[in-house]
């Protein structure tokens, strides 16, 4: 195993069968490419599908789940490693620490929260790890258009838009997530430079 790729995705399978199909293909590709999976530790929805696909292909899976979700009986009990943490904040930090890169599949508020936190951390220079939206189903088309709109409206620098990569196939997503992050200057460093200049 040459590292862990984090997958953010829904605890539901969604309304279209191609979501589950893509999750299955992604899990198989992660294992085939020699990587392990770190994810939210659930056994249901796309989360369970991608984890099972990695396991079935002979790969390693590391789950991270808050105690309240274990008590709700959504934890995947067939994993080689399942970390139980106290909070959602601790879960996100632990997954971010373990992952070499991130792949975002269809999901809801929780998936968006996880993905945008990593995008923000990259923008601020707090992490330098690739994140890619796997969008072979077209699910993320409206969100990606909204990101372009945010750039056009002047709230995100054009160079920072590159932090949110897009892939159309699981193979492409794994390649991007396991590669180098875009070389984008952190916003904090830019602000620091501006502040220093203004104080001269």
Q: What digits encode the pLDDT tens for the residues 22-71?
A: 999 999 999 999 999 999 999 999 999 999 999 999 999 999 999 999 88
180, 131 Cβ separation under 8 angstroms: no
Range of the domain at 143: 4-199
Q: What is the pLDDT of residues 137-158, one digit of tens each?
A: 999 999 999 999 999 999 999 9
Q: What global pTM score does this model have?
A: 0.92
- Number of domains, the chain: 1
**Which residue reads 């605890």 in tokens?**
11
Q: Which carries the bigger pLDDT value, residue 189 or residue 7?
A: 7
Nearest to 17 by CA among 112, 106, 130, 101: 106
What pLDDT, on a 0 to 100 scale, did the predictor assign at position 199?
43
Q: Cα-flanking dihedrals φ and ψ of residue 29, to 5°? A: -70, -35
CATH number reported for the structural domain that contains residue 14 in this entry: 3.40.50.450
CA distance 2 to 187: 31
Report the alpha-carbon distance of residue 52 to residue 114 in Å, rounded: 21
CB 162 within 8 A of CB 184: yes
Give start and end residues of each alpha helix (H) in 61-169. Answer: 67-71, 88-98, 109-123, 141-152
């Amino acid at each position: 195993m040459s590292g862990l790729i984090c997958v953010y995705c829904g605890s539901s399978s969604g309304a279209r069968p191609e979501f589950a199909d893509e999750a299955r293909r992604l899990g198989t590709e992660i294992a085939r490419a020699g990587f392990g999976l770190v994810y939210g530790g659930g056994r249901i929805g796309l989360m369970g599908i991608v984890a099972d696909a990695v396991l079935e292909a002979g790969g390693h899976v590391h789950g991270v789940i808050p105690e309240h979700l274990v008590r709700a009986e959504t934890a995947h009990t067939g994993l080689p490693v399942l970390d139980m943490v106290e909070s959602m904040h601790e879960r996100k930090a632990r997954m971010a620490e373990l992952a070499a890169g991130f792949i975002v599949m269809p999901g809801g508020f929780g998936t968006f929260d996880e993905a945008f936190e990593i995008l923000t951390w990259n923008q601020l220079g707090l992490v330098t790890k690739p994140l890619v939206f796997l969008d072979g189903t077209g699910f993320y088309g409206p969100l990606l258009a909204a990101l372009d709109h945010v750039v056009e409206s002047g709230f995100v620098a054009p160079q920072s838009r590159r932090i949110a990569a897009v892939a159309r196939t699981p193979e492409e997503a794994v390649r991007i997530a396991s590669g180098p992050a875009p070389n984008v200057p952190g916003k904090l460093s830019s602000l620091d430079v501006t502040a220093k200049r203004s104080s001269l």
